[in-house]
Amino acid sequence: MSTVLIRALFTSLLAPAGPALPPVVSRSPLVFFHVDSGGCEACSLEVEALRKGDYGLAEAGIVFTDAPRLADILLVTGTCTRMMAPVVKAAWEAMPQPKGLLAVGACAIDGGPFAENYAVLGGLEKRASVDCAIPGCPPTPDAILQGIVNLLSPTPAPIMEA
Ligand code: SF4
């Protein structure tokens, strides 16, 4: 899924009250599948807080699933370890088209403090086409939500620092 398409999806899903935008795809809400691929797990905890907290995700048209075959967006946290790389790959391959890849946190983007070694591959940016990246170590739930909207909005707002 291209960044342009994801931007259009979020624009339609998160648009304030006004004239209804035409649907971009048949599936709505937009469904996320989360994989924690390594790191210290703090980013994963922040994503869980976003999922379970009162952030109005459902109202914004964002839901999480535990089944990658139902997901539109693969949300990855943590630096990718060699052990978890097949899990990330399997989740991606199980997802139907169109689909997008979202990296949350410094580790998921470029490996963060974890250098490549015998156990760690590193971030996604050198190994995959990342549609959206949300910085932070870790980003807060608000920052994750704002970062998603910001990165995919046609009129970006400042990214909230974690
Ligand atoms: S980016 Fe920071 S908080 Fe997130 S998993 Fe890596 S070290 Fe932990």
Q: What is residue 155's DSSP assignment? A: S
Q: What is the pLDDT of residue 58?
A: 84
Full-model pTM: 0.80
pLDDT at res. 150: 66
Ligand 1 center–CA 1 separation, angstroms: 26
User: Is 107 touching ligand 1 by the criterion CB < 6 Å?
Assistant: yes
Residue 127: which of 144, 103, 105 has the closest Cα? Answer: 103
The residue length of the chain stands at: 162
Q: Is 39 in the pocket of ligand 1 (CB under 6 A)?
A: yes
Domain boundaries, the chain: 3-13+29-151
Which CATH fold would you assign to the domain 3-13+29-151? Answer: Rossmann fold (3.40.50)
**Helix (H), strand (E) at residue 147:** helix 141-152
Adjacent-strand bridge partners of 100: 73
Crossing angle for the helix pair 3-14 and 141-152, nearest 10 degrees? Answer: 110
Query: What per-residue confidence (pLDDT) applies to 24?
Result: 40
Q: Cα separation of 69 and 78, whole Å?
A: 22
If one compares 21 and 73, the residue with the highest pLDDT of the two is: 73
In tens, the pLDDT along 8-51 reads: 444 444 444 444 434 444 456 889 999 999 999 999 999 999 99
Q: Tell me what pLDDT residue 28 has.
A: 65
How far apart, in whole angstroms, are the C-alpha atoms of residue 31 and residue 70? Answer: 7
CA 44–ligand 1 middle distance (angstroms): 9
Q: Is 43 in the pocket of ligand 1 (CB under 6 A)?
A: yes
Q: How far is the CA of 111 from the centre of ligand 1 (A)?
A: 9
pLDDT digit string, tens, across residues 108-160: 999 999 999 999 999 999 899 998 899 999 999 999 998 777 655 655 444 44
pLDDT at 70 over 90: yes
Nearest CA to ligand 1 atom 8: 40
CB of 53 within 6 A of ligand 1: the answer is no
